[in-house]
Structure 1
């Protein structure tokens, strides 16, 4: 009796109930280098997200209120850890903060960038006989950063900064809407320390404007005149 020899398909096929062939499985896998590259991309993405969330954050300057230091369209790096371990903003720091409740009464959160002039416990007054802002009675020399040809303020004010709050001003006073303009608002124009996102440390773009953002020497002189007192920051509320 003639028998028919059935040749087994070593690769098999999906229709015969067998497992997919080894060769087809190999053909469906990515090369090792491609898998390694994909993992590297994912890890780098996670690192960037974490750095952006907890360490440094790029921020675009939306207006010219901080000229000449910061110009509209500049990209800066905000140090989110500057005040994370018990520190607090100092007079002279340039900070980014959420203005909801101080510069905005309602709506969505919106970030602003200004310079800290007064901290909790300070009395900030404009102006003395020489047209300068005073902090706790000591005159502040703003000539190194104030917009060329401008006065410290076109109108007078007298503000006492509550604990845990900041009095902030733009360097381009003629166009800056800052604590002076919000003194009569519900938030009093004072920015809660808890609303500060971080300190501006670097200008990174455009390339021609790349620079570090340093605290002006005028504030060290101010604190020297105050007897080294840094102000009463109070609780971050």
Structure 2
């Protein structure tokens, strides 16, 4: 009987530790997210499941082309979490003319975009501690062209892998 009680306590402690560890990892290290819209087609499809890294970008930074997950900026008037591709970094001048995105006057090579943007966008310079983001499905994405830049403090993490559907499992960055 004494041994049985010890086993129950051991299992209970192990279970509590495992739950706390899982919650800590989800809150501070990585979490799974799913894609609810077509704004990132063709790269991400509705229902794709991703792993979001919440740690490494604090050390290695964010690069042009990364897909980031962030809280919607107040100017968007949305109360949700979004995923978009980083187009402009702090200090960059971003413009769109005749379907071509320009960064600091040079055309941006974008093999990931679904189609060229239909509308021109007047040049802006991305402020410090901010990013200019766009969806890969340019003509069906509500992004920085409409509500401005994303302040870095709203960034939750970077998409590093798609794990579902299993046939499309992919690492995006390491």
Could you tell me the TM-score, scaled by structure 2's length? 0.90
Specify whether residues 98 and 122 from structure 1 end up closer, same or farther in structure 2 by C-alpha distance, changes over 3 A only.
Answer: same
Tell me if the contact between 1:59 and 1:78 (Cα under 8 Å) persists in the aligned partners.
yes
Counterpart of 2:112 in structure 1 is 145
Displacement after TM superposition at 1:166 (Å): 0.7
Q: SS of the residue aligned with 2:77?
A: coil
Q: In structure 1, what is the equivalent of residue 73 of structure 2?
A: 100
**Conservation of the 8 A alpha-carbon contact between 1:66 and 1:114:** yes
Q: Where do residues 5-154 of structure 1 align in structure 2 (5 Å cutoff)?
A: 26=1, 30-85=4-59, 87-104=60-77, 109-127=79-97, 131-142=99-110, 144-147=111-114, 150-151=115-116, 153-154=117-118
Once the two structures are TM-superposed, the CA of residue 83 in structure 1 deviates from its matched residue by 2.3
Q: Does 1:164 align with 2:129?
A: yes
- The residue that corresponds to 1:219 in the other structure is none
Give the structure-1-normalised TM-score.
0.68
CA distance in 1, matches of 2:47, 2:113: 19
**Shift of residue 67, structure 1, vs aligned partner:** 1.2
Aligned length: 173
* Aligned CA-pair RMSD: 2.0
Hey, what's the Cα distance between the residues in 2 that align with 1:132 and 1:43? 52
Give the distance between the partners of 1:135 and 1:46, measured in 2 at CA.
44
Name the CA distance, whole Å, in 2 between partners of 1:136 and 1:111: 29
Residue 164 (structure 2) aligned to one of 205, 218, 231 = 205
Quote the Cα distance in structure 1 between the aligned partners of 2:131 and 2:106. Answer: 18
Structure 2's unaligned 5+ residue stretches are none
Counterpart Cα distance in 2 of 1:102 and 1:212: 32
1:151-190 Cα deviation digits (max 9, x unpaired): 1x110012221111111000011211111122xxxxxx11
Say which one has the larger Rg. 1
Structure 1's unaligned 5+ residue stretches are 1-25, 183-188, 216-237
Q: 1:30 Cα deviation (Å)? A: 4.3
